[in-house]
Structure 1
Amino acid sequence: MMKKGPLLYFSTAILAVSIFTGEGSAVQAEPSTAASFTDTTGHWAESSIVAAVQKGYVSGYPEGTFQPEKTVSRSEFIAMLIRSLGQTPDTGAASPWYTPYVKAATESGYYVAGDFSSGNWSSSLSRQELARIAVRVIGKTAKDNTEYMYMATSNGVLSGTGNGALNVTGTTTRAQTVTVIERISRILQGETLPVDSLAVGNAQKAMNAPKDPWGRAVRTTNLPKNAKDFPYILEEYPNEMYELELPFKGITEPAFKISTPAELYKTDTRIQDKKEMEKWKGNAEAYYKLLLNVDYRTINGKWATDLYSHKNQWNSVGLEEVMTYVKWVKKNKIVAEGSLVVEPSMIFHSKIGGYFIRSKFSFRIKEYNEYKDIFDDLLFNSHQKNDNLSSLGKFQKGQWYYGYSDIDINTNIQGGIPRVSNLASLFTLRSVIHKKN
């Protein structure tokens, strides 16, 4: 029988615990302790990782790593959270595997339908989504996203990502996830946690600021040069993202004329529809969750078919070409990880090019034999010749990068959800990419 409520019961035995991948399959890890991991010694979250493994709600990977910087999906977080609270749903014949955990979270009031911008449980968990659920678990609630973030920071559940930055659309790593879960357990035991005062101040400012349709803070000062091109300017994105060069710059033919987001939000009924925008966003983000996260040890045909399902198949390469890339990943021993968030208030359109939706992304390349076709992106091999990116040279192994790019999306189905075009690339002449410090 499943135990309900925030009962702090943990198994102290170190057991082989299933770790769920973004593809929904279970990878059985060997019994291990955090001390045996090859990638956690000296890590900022080492103590939280030790505690989490000792309590039995998470473990490492078969090769002896914990992969603390690997992004966590929504389903993985819910499963870890429910296990950490001592709830034991029957997962015997569940499909998808995470269904019993979602049911437990729903019955306990931690998860509410509509919490996520799309229904894709394999999408990376954002900090905003993490805050919303964590606040409910500690017995509090809020009226919108900004108040949830304020409650999370003011109760010590979340800290800023540097100088109090909230980074609400940023993804969540395994290290961050177990740290938050450990903080939740301390709060539920009656402990008062220290807070990041800068983050609390930023959260309070955002809570009191004007909001967009998604409840996100809109800023009215320090605006980008082209602020008039957008329906509003969000606190969470820098001016650099807004000021990217537009597609087809300098081309005067009418068919290439770009309609700005401000114009589309006044005239395009699909852009005006919040639920429609969530579908566009969910599809593109699911595509890039797959594209940016590859591992020669686990990639397979399901990865290829899933990636292909998010493409506009009218103008895309065939599935067999995606399968060729899978074979190359295995042969070249490629390991890379990353995440991408698309912003529905930054959509452009032209008759020739279709829709372009602006994105914020990050990635790192961990392993490969030959520096070629690391990602299934048509412009990756030419990025060193790109004037805008050439100063970076080859992307260094293990180095995190972040940037902004416009993603081509379109569809040949009347009224269908625009999917990622075969022409989409993170490495276009307009893209901006930086090293993370």
Structure 2
Amino acid sequence: MVSLKDISGHWAESAIQSGVTAGYINGYQDETFKPNAHINRAEFITMLVRALQMKETTNSLAFTDAKQIPSWASSYISQAVEAGIVSGYTDGTFRAGKQLNRSEITTWMVRAAGLTVNNNASLSFTDKDSVPAWAVPYVAAGVKSGLVSGVGQNRFAPKQLTTRAEAAVFIAKLLKVKN
């Protein structure tokens, strides 16, 4: 059993501990989780694919920056690509080290949950105009299902970077929605 020395008393402790117990969350070699650090694309997809216990794939990654994807994450990213959860950018890159914002992580969570997306959906958040157009249907589906919510004061904060703790909570919610 992995014991993480920096989650005790943290607001997301139970979600993080559940992920550790289930085997989809690992800490760092120094036995920390760094719950308040921002999560990047490779880290999140690794946790997500482990949580969903997706089937292995033999497909290789076709991204132009595939050589920059950490070896520990490439098979998980490949599984997520094959499942239609993630894709790269229009320039052909994946950008594994890029930190995730709330719009991106919500899109991936909605796809992973297999939720129906309404392309004509609208949002009622006061900052709805700052949600990228491509993310609006996913944010709407995520909110409707209870998978995601705002950050308070009727704001979604679509460009706010996601912490590792928030990612753990998102995945815990996803597992409840899927079951």
Matched, 1:86 2:61: no
Would you say the 8 A contact 2:38–2:161 is kept in 1?
A: yes
Matched, 1:108 2:92: no
Q: For residues 116 and 85 of structure 1, what CA distance do their matches in structure 2 show?
A: 28
Matched, 1:147 2:133: no
Give 1:174's match in structure 2, choosing from 147, 158, 164.
164
TM-score, structure 2 normalization:
0.76
Deviation, 1:39, is 2.0
TM-score, structure 1 normalization:
0.33
Give 1:133's match in structure 2, choosing from 101, 104, 108.
108
Q: For residues 114 and 171 of structure 2, what CA distance do their matches in structure 1 show?
A: 14
Q: Which of 1 and 2 has higher RCO (CA within 8 Å, sep 6+)?
A: 2
CA 115–57 in structure 1, closer or farther in 2 if over 3 Å, else same:
farther
The corresponding residue for 1:64 is 31
CA 117–147 in structure 1, closer or farther in 2 if over 3 Å, else same:
farther
Deviations 1:259-305 (A, max 9, x none): xxxxxxxxxxxxxxxxxxxxxxxxxxxxxxxxxxxxxxxxxxxxxxx
Q: For residues 148 and 8 of structure 2, what CA distance do their matches in structure 1 show?
A: 23
Q: Which amino acid aligns with 1:53?
A: V
Q: Which amino acid aligns with 1:105?
A: A
Give 1:50's match in structure 2, choosing from 7, 14, 17.
17
Largest Rg, 1 or 2: 1
Q: For residues 48 and 38 of structure 1, what CA distance do their matches in structure 2 show?
A: 15
Q: For residues 168 and 146 of structure 1, what CA distance do their matches in structure 2 show?
A: 10
Deviation, 1:84, is 0.8
**Length, aligned pairs only:** 155
Secondary structure in 1 matching 2:28: coil
Would you say the 8 A contact 1:127–1:168 is kept in 2?
A: yes
CA 113–120 in structure 1, closer or farther in 2 if over 3 Å, else same:
closer
Q: Which amino acid aligns with 2:46?
A: A
The corresponding residue for 2:43 is 76
CA 123–84 in structure 1, closer or farther in 2 if over 3 Å, else same:
same
Q: For residues 57 and 13 of structure 2, what CA distance do their matches in structure 1 show?
A: 31
Deviations 1:178-199 (A, max 9, x none): 111111111111xxxxxxxxxx
Taking only the aligned residue pairs, the percentage that are identical comes to: 30
The corresponding residue for 2:123 is none
Deviation, 1:38, is 2.8
Give 1:184's match in structure 2, choosing from 169, 174, 178.
174
CA 100–73 in structure 1, closer or farther in 2 if over 3 Å, else same:
same
In angstroms, what is the RMSD of aligned CA positions? 2.6
Q: For residues 40 and 49 of structure 2, what CA distance do their matches in structure 1 show?
A: 14
Identify unmatched segments of 5+ residues in structure 2. 62-66, 120-133
Q: Which amino acid aligns with 2:175?
A: S
Identify unmatched segments of 5+ residues in structure 1. 1-13, 15-31, 190-437
The corresponding residue for 1:164 is 154
Deviation, 1:69, is 0.6
More helix by share: 2
Secondary structure in 2 matching 1:151: helix
Would you say the 8 A contact 1:116–1:129 is kept in 2?
A: no
CA 85–116 in structure 1, closer or farther in 2 if over 3 Å, else same:
farther
Q: Which amino acid aligns with 1:87?
A: M
Q: Which amino acid aligns with 1:149?
A: V
Would you say the 8 A contact 1:124–1:171 is kept in 2?
A: yes
Aligned pairs (5 A) from 1:173-212: 173-189=163-179
CA 79–153 in structure 1, closer or farther in 2 if over 3 Å, else same:
same
Would you say the 8 A contact 2:87–2:94 is kept in 1?
A: no
